[in-house]
Chains A and B, each alone.
Chain A
Amino acid sequence: MSATITHDELLDTSGLLCPLPVYQAGLALGRLEPGQVLQIITTDPGSLEDIPALARQRGDELLSATDHGTSQRFWIKKGAAA
Chain B
Amino acid sequence: MTTLVAPVTDLNGLAPTKTKRIALVAAKGTLDQAYPPLILATTAASLGWEAGIYFTFYGLDVIHRKRSRRLKVASLANPAGPIQLPNVLGAIPGATAAATFVMNKWMKDARMPPVAEFIAMAQGLGVQFFACSTSMGVMGVKQEDLIDGCLVAGAAAFLDYASTAEVQLFV
Contacts and interface: CB of A to CB of B under 8 A. Distances in A.
Give the interface size class of chain B: 20 to 34
B48 A48 contact: no
A26 interface: yes
Contacts of A16: 111
A55 B8 CA distance: 11
B16 interface: yes
Nearest to B110: A17
Contacts of A54: 46-47
A65 B7 CA distance: 9
Interface residues of A, number: 34
Given A17-B112, A19-B43, A57 B48 contact: yes
A55 B11 contact: yes
Interface string B89-112: 000000000000000000000111
A68 B2 contact: yes
Interface string B22-61: 0000000000000000010011011111000000000000
A72 B113 CA distance: 22
A26 B46 contact: yes
Interface in A48-80: 48, 52-59, 61-69, 72, 79
A25 B125 CA distance: 13
Contacts of A63: 8
A58 B49 CA distance: 8
B156 interface: no
Given A54-B47, A59-B16, A62-B8, A19 B42 contact: yes
Contact of A66 (B5, B39, B47): B5
B47 A58 contact: yes
A23 B5 CA distance: 21
9 contacts: A15-B111, A20-B112, A22-B46, A22-B47, A23-B46, A52-B6, A53-B47, A56-B12, A57-B48
